[in-house]
Amino acid sequence: MKRYIAMILAALMALSIMGCGQSGDLFPESTVAGDSSQTAPVDESGMKVGYILPSGTDTTDTNSRIEDIRQMQYETGLKDSQVLIRTDVSKDDCASAIDEMVKEGCNIIFACDSRYENTMLEAAEQNPDVQFCQEDGTKAKKSGLDNMHNYYVRLFEAYYAAGVISGMKLNQYLNSGKITSSECVIGFVASEESPETTSCINAFYMGVGEVCSQASMLVRYTDGSGDYDADAEAAQQLLSAGVSLMSQFTTTTGVATICAENDIPIVGNAVNIIDVAPSEALTSAIVNWNVYYTYAVNCVVNGTAIDTDWCGGYDDNAVTLSQLNDAHLADGSVERLQDVEKELRNGDAKVFDTEKFTVDGSSLETLAEDDADFKKYAKNIKGGEYKESGKRSAPSMEFFVDGVEESTYNYLGDEENTTDSESDSADESGSTAEDAEE
């Protein structure tokens, strides 16, 4: 029943489909506009904006983005007729979606999946009068195209903050005797392995470790398709492996539903999940994409250049936490979270403090000096901190800190693996060392 309630809620959110202020200082040291010259302003009444999204309106990720698009409209005054949204667009269908939007007169097009990037680059070269904005991309700067832009957010900051209050929840369980130290295990369900998910997983674990040093973490991936049953199955398998708290980086409510059925605290992502897990949801890590959408649209309207590589975080409200479930947080969580968020906003927080974690038993600085596989990370280490998204907007982290284990499974029905907590090697991310060093 809870599953169907969640699906109905998602459908109601999707009914709103189809219908710009400047952001603050940005974190990355090298993310500057490729060309500071102005372009011709666009009459706001004739402005058209296109969005290409990889999943359908039955997913939390798409619905949250649609809400952010509507917020952009509110801030810019654009009408529904000026905004084209195409959902459930596969990589192979991206070119035709772009072509349709160009013919419809779109002045700017946003691609909301990194797998679209090569197609977006080709379109940008063929359509110099249209601005192309690629989420989680890495190639805009190298392309030399004035109308090609990469953007992303420091989502790991929100996961770090959520990790702190999750660690306090685990401490509450430990102190009350509800769990033992051997049961202080976190489960994390991710849709696929990538630097984006890896940085969020590590940050969540680092946040937990700020207050609960006894915790360890098991990570399981689904197949990246945004399938409710696969997400729920992965969560169920982690429960069978003995986890006492859960987090996720997926696009459905499958994980939250399983946690609700088993009285397991859960930190969600993309949307508020308290309606799905009223007694279990602590909060969710949220991206406010409208911050970038509004910024980029206003640039086109005003005829100013869009940053070639843009990245936002807590400091400009591009990432945050959703509603806190006050009734189920551990005592003191709100006060501790306020301190953490203040540090994130003013730049004092060291999410990946290199003195507080090791990788394969060694410090990251040592590995960056001595291990060929880690040398690509040297440029991101500064002042005793690994500055994720410090040299480019897209995350570059492809290692897990000690205490985090990956474990894969055969999707939907491998009974042998439902109780297996051993760490198996997962597929390597497609990012390259050259990308990480940008």
pLDDT tens string, the chain, 438 residues long: the values are 444 444 444 444 444 333 333 333 333 443 444 444 457 788 878 899 999 999 999 899 999 999 999 999 999 999 999 999 999 999 999 999 999 999 999 999 999 999 999 999 999 999 999 999 999 999 999 999 999 999 999 999 999 999 999 999 999 999 999 999 999 999 999 999 999 999 999 999 999 999 999 999 999 999 777 899 999 999 999 999 999 999 999 999 999 999 999 999 999 999 999 999 999 999 999 999 999 999 999 999 999 999 999 999 999 999 999 999 999 999 999 999 999 999 999 999 999 999 999 999 999 999 999 999 999 999 999 999 999 999 999 999 999 999 999 876 555 444 444 334 333 333 333 444 445 444
| Pairing of the two strands 381-382 and 185-190 | unpaired
pLDDT score at 224: 77
Cβ–Cβ under 8 Å, residues 295 and 279: no
Choosing among 3.40.50.2300, 3.20.80.10, 3.50.50.60, 3.40.30.10, the CATH entry for 2-153+289-312 is 3.40.50.2300
In the sheet that holds 108-111, the strands lie side by side as 83-86, 49-52, 108-111, 131-135, 148-153, 309-312
pLDDT score at 8: 43
Q: Which helix (H) or strand (E) holds 5?
A: helix 2-14
Rounded CA gap, 237 and 255, in Å? 11
Provide φ and ψ at 393, rounded to 5°: -70, -40
DSSP state of 369: H
- CATH dotted code for 155-288+319-436: 3.40.50.2300
Residue 173 CB neighbours (<10 A): 18
The tokens describing 30, both together, are: 């090298």
DSSP state of 380: G
Rounded CA gap, 261 and 239, in Å? 11
Shared fold status for 2-153+289-312 and 155-288+319-436:
yes
In the sheet that holds 266-269, the strands lie side by side as 319-321, 281-287, 266-269, 245-249, 185-190, 216-221, 404-406
DSSP per position, 408-423: ---TTT-GGGGG----
Count, residues in the chain? 438
Residue 161's contacts (CB-CB under 8 Å, 6 or more residues apart) are 207, 285, 314, 321, 337, 340, 341, 344
Residue 142 CB neighbours (<10 A): 13
- Statement: the pTM of the whole predicted model exceeds 0.75: yes
pLDDT score at 409: 54
Domain boundaries, the chain: 2-153+289-312, 155-288+319-436
Among candidate residues 267, 293, 263, the one with its CA nearest the CA of residue 281 = 267
pLDDT score at 159: 98
